[in-house]
Structure 1
């Protein structure tokens, strides 16, 4: 069922265009919801998305079972969490590379830019769609949690904290990928650039040892992996939550600005 106030354009990018603006608040939410709904349909009908999902679950299973062969394996999901944040360096760009780049390649971006849809509504709608699909993938990894509780007695605290950190990390990575997709009409370029940024943020904490001093500390604090490690230990620190929310906001803001710049090209 299509959100009220939109013409159905099928499952093609840019398919739903708002019919008119009436009450601002409800229309704004309807616009974001319509963009998100169209992208969600594309995600769940795309074979590429399912391939990416299967690869994620397979790799997640590998990291989960990696230490089970030890004589005294720990009842923990830490290997899975640590492996998942590495997988996200590939997963997030794969999920977001087509969001805007495909619109540009097919020419439907012009339809969006000339319709009564605000740039931030397009960005937020597409971001929410990728986030929902990502959350569905993470939810499927709950199978490993069930196995852990069936065969062991793990401390639930680190598991809850780890999943919170995982969701925040992935949400930030998706925001990075959306920005690179907004900057180019080539999906491969968007994915490669996003991977490069995510790798830099992943290894930023190494700058503390390489650079040293106050500059090294500043660069180290920018590292996404640095802020995830406490979640993996079962520690929920407001500082880390604020960091990830700031990364998400920053890259979504840049995505909106990049999309706005297309209007003047």
Structure 2
């Protein structure tokens, strides 16, 4: 797993992908922080949670080549026949993408220090929001990896991932269109944004943590099964 992690992490910065994703994150983080700073609010968690929309559009770029590129270049067979477990391959790629995603929030540490130099800040609020965003990111990455494992085309993978990301994050907006009340409630609660916002409100909810962890684990498992199917094809 370590070898796969190192290879994938380095590949993000041997191509423009890693720089594009981080540039997008840093630009919008700076923009949101500027707005919060001018408003006089000491709550950096608002900046972090606002990045959920940015994550929807950057995750497809981060994950589109994770599995499909190996398949397109025909190097996947070397990985599939190597004396390593498929789980290790998938987890190595997953943690490489998650590491880049986490780097995207590095400036928030500086933002928190800047605010703390002027007013008293709620550090736990910042930690909860950051933790929630990392959980959200892990779920989106796992979904993107599974989709990437189904096709050789990075473009198709990116488009499908973007569509799915928008649906799972904001499907609570469609709950009002559903006439059956219990289904509408399920749809509203299942939306990623509903769970993520709880962290932004300094609510450390075990069900929300388990929800994101379960989604991540489920799609990583499906990704492993997708690779296993190709191994024996």
TM-score, normalised to structure 2, is 0.93
Structure with more of its chain in helix, by fraction: 2
Q: Rg bigger for which structure?
A: 1
CA distance in 1, matches of 2:191, 2:27: 26
Which position in structure 2 is the counterpart of 1:252?
Answer: 220
RMSD between aligned residues: 1.6
CA distance in 1, matches of 2:63, 2:166: 16
Is residue 2:21 matched to residue 1:58?
Answer: no
Correspondent of 2:189 among 221, 239, 252: 221
Which position in structure 1 is the counterpart of 2:92?
Answer: 125
Q: Secondary structure at the match of 2:27?
A: helix
Q: Secondary structure at the match of 1:81?
A: helix
Q: Secondary structure at the match of 2:41?
A: coil
Is residue 2:167 matched to residue 1:200?
Answer: yes
Which position in structure 1 is the counterpart of 2:4?
Answer: 35
CA distance in 1, matches of 2:225, 2:74: 19
Q: Do the aligned residues in 2 keep the contact of 1:61 with 1:80 (CA within 8 Å)?
A: no
Give the deviation of 1:240 after TM superposition.
0.6
Which stretches in structure 2 are left out of the alignment for 5+ residues? Answer: none
Correspondent of 2:72 among 105, 118, 122: 105
Q: Do the aligned residues in 1 keep the contact of 2:33 with 2:47 (CA within 8 Å)?
A: yes
CA distance in 2, matches of 1:224, 1:217: 14
Which position in structure 1 is the counterpart of 2:43?
Answer: 76
Q: Do the aligned residues in 1 keep the contact of 2:22 with 2:103 (CA within 8 Å)?
A: no
How many equivalent residue pairs? 232
- Structure 1 stretches of at least 4 aligned residues deviating more than 4 Å after TM superposition: none
Could you report, residue by residue, the CA deviation over 1:100-137 in whole angstroms, capped at 9, with x for unpaired residues?
Answer: 11101111011112222222221111111111222222
Could you report, residue by residue, the CA deviation over 1:153-172 in whole angstroms, capped at 9, with x for unpaired residues?
Answer: 22222111111111111111
CA distance in 1, matches of 2:81, 2:212: 33
CA distance in 1, matches of 2:186, 2:75: 41
Q: Which moved more, 1:150-159 or 1:127-136?
A: 150-159
Q: Structure 1 residues 68, 150: closer, same or farther in 2, change over 3 A?
A: same
Is residue 2:33 matched to residue 1:96?
Answer: no
Correspondent of 2:146 among 176, 179, 182: 179
Q: Do the aligned residues in 2 keep the contact of 1:105 with 1:185 (CA within 8 Å)?
A: yes
Which stretches in structure 1 are left out of the alignment for 5+ residues? Answer: 1-31
CA distance in 2, matches of 1:206, 1:55: 26
Is residue 2:207 matched to residue 1:239?
Answer: yes
Give the deviation of 1:44 after TM superposition.
3.3
Larger RCO (CA within 8 A; separation ≥ 6): 2
Give the deviation of 1:264 after TM superposition.
3.9
TM-score, normalised to structure 1, is 0.82
CA distance in 1, matches of 2:45, 2:105: 15
Could you report, residue by residue, the CA deviation over 1:49-71 in whole angstroms, capped at 9, with x for unpaired residues?
Answer: 1122011110111122224444x
